[in-house]
Amino acid sequence: MEKSYIGQLGHLIQPIIEPMGWDWKIGVSIITGLAAKEIIVSTMGVLYHSNLEDDNTFNLQTKLKEQKHSVGKYKGEYVFSPLVAYSLMLFILIYFPCVAVIAAINREANWKWAVFTMTYTTALAYIVSFLAYQIGKLII
């Protein structure tokens, strides 16, 4: 999966998302969530559950708990912690509304407002998630 186009895209954005404790699979899930936020969960389910080398005796919850970073600053550490989960939830809550909302903004206002909405919400989400993770790391 890491050698696929979407996996390579995930590794490309790894330096951007790593300060929030995320791995490339979470990054890919965020990208696919641009179409609709509910796709994030299904993408994560596919990426984390479909390891062809493992047997399918474990459920997704177990596999998520066992995931470790494969590259970067956090290599060897577990991916999912309460702090990563909060950071991810904050990002998803705030970032880029789905494509249908952007199309509606474009139709009702104009393309400048649509681009502003995409840029502003994504930047705000990144800042909030980054601060939540980094401040949380200092406290914990």
Mean pLDDT of 117-140: 95
Query: How far is Cα 124 from Cα 1, in angstroms, rounded to an integer?
Result: 30
Among residues of the chain, what percentage have pLDDT more than 70?
94
Whether residue 57 has pLDDT greater than 60: no
Confidence (pTM): 0.86
Mean pLDDT of 38-61: 75
String of b and e for 32-65 (b: at least 16 CB within 10 Å)?
bbbeebeebeebbeebbbeeeeeeeeeeeeebbe
The neighbouring-strand residues paired with 68 are 78
Which residue is it, tokens 């890919």?
A: 28
Tokens standing for residue 127: 């800042």
Tokens standing for residue 69: 């970073």
Q: How many domains does the chain fold into?
A: 1
Q: What angle do CA 86, 20, 28 make, to 5 degrees?
A: 90
Residue 118: strand, helix, or coil: helix
Residue 68: strand, helix, or coil: strand
Query: How far is Cα 56 from Cα 71, in angstroms, rounded to an integer?
Result: 24
Q: Which of 42, 39, 36 is nearest to 98 (CA)?
A: 36
Q: Are 30 and 38 in contact (CB under 8 A)?
A: no
> Which of the four pLDDT bands, split at 50, 70 and 90, describes residue 17?
very high
Print the domain residue range for 39.
Answer: 5-139
- At residue 60, the pLDDT reads 74
Query: How far is Cα 18 from Cα 130, in angstroms, rounded to an integer?
Result: 9
